[in-house]
């Protein structure tokens, strides 16, 4: 199955060759999804699933207790945009215009040419392929438009669904970090996944039917 088409807008080149995807996050599109800057009017859609304890079960944030808390989160994300810091895209389902998830860059090292990514999706949209579609889109952006060499992500060892999302996008499990995080009152083990630029290029060549 061919990867969804990727559309980029609003990228500005910098002198170091990397794309300024923090200060001016580009709009990314796949067949079913639109990844875009989050807006204050997204609060209702966002609260509908960030308030779900099951969605928050394995992530590092707690389920939102009020619409005001969601608005505060959106103000924080928008402040990251203004400061040109790593942040998140809202994932909009084109068919409905609803915000069904978020995906973003949790960490960035120019010195080591590496990035860390993370994502969350509302429970009604689990098991429909939206998470790997969005993650694949973000990986394409990073490897096509920046000089990043390594992209990694981590998940709670109990979160097999998240691990499968990463595997579908070509990320490889590198190991288990014991009690790596303290989350919701307990120390938890996490699985570390990563993909290198050379791995991504090989996958792209395979999709085109080329020999590595």
Question: Do the beta carbons of residue 30 and residue 6 sit within 8 Å?
Answer: yes
Distance in angstroms (rounded) separating the CA atoms of residues 123 and 144: 31
Residue from 52, 12, 29 nearest 133 by CA: 29
Using a cut of 0.85, tell me whether the model's pTM lies above it: yes
6: left (phi over 0), alpha (psi -120 to 50) or beta: beta
Residue 24: the pLDDT is: 85
What are φ and ψ of residue 156, in 5° steps?
Answer: -55, 140
Q: What is the pLDDT of residue 209?
A: 84
Q: Which of 102, 127, 131 is nearest to 4 (CA)?
A: 131
43 has pLDDT over 50: yes
Indicate if the pLDDT at residue 73 is higher than 50: yes
pLDDT score of 8 more than 90: no
Identify the H or E element spanning 99.
Answer: strand 98-109
pLDDT at 211: 67
pLDDT of 91 above 80:
yes
- Percent of the chain at pLDDT > 70 equals 90
Q: Where are the domains of the chain?
A: 7-153
CATH of 7-153, one of 3.40.50.20, 3.40.630.30, 3.40.630.10, 3.20.20.80: 3.40.630.30
Q: What is the pLDDT of residues 12-28, one digit of tens each?
A: 434 343 447 888 899 99
Q: Which residues of 172-197 are buried (b: 16+ CB within 10 A; e: fewer)?
A: eeeeeeeebeebeeeebebbbbbbbb
Helix locations, the chain, DSSP H: 43-50, 67-83, 130-145, 160-168, 197-207
Count other C-beta atoms under 10 Å from residue 48's C-beta.
18
């Amino acid at each position: 199955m061919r990867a969804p088409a990727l559309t980029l807008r609003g990228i500005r080149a910098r002198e170091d060759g990397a794309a300024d995807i923090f200060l001016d996050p580009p709009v990314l599109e796949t067949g079913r999804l639109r990844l875009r800057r989050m807006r204050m009017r997204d609060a209702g859609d966002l609260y509908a699933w960030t308030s779900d304890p099951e969605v928050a079960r394995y992530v590092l944030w707690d389920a939102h207790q009020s619409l005001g808390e969601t608005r505060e989160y959106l103000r924080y994300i928008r402040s990251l945009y203004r400061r040109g810091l790593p942040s998140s895209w809202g994932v909009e389902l084109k068919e409905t215009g609803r915000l069904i998830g978020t995906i973003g860059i949790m960490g960035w090292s120019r010195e080591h040419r590496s990035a860390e990514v993370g994502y969350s999706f509302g429970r009604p949209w689990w098991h429909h392929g939206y998470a790997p579609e969005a993650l694949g889109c973000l990986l394409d952006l990073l490897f096509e438009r920046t000089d990043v060499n390594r992209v990694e992500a981590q998940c709670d060892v109990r979160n097999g669904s998240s691990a499968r999302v990463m595997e579908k996008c070509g990320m490889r499990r590198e190991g288990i970090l014991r009690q790596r995080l303290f989350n919701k009152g307990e120390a938890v083990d996490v699985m570390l996944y990563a993909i290198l630029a050379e791995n991504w290029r090989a996958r792209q060549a395979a999709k085109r039917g080329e020999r590595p």
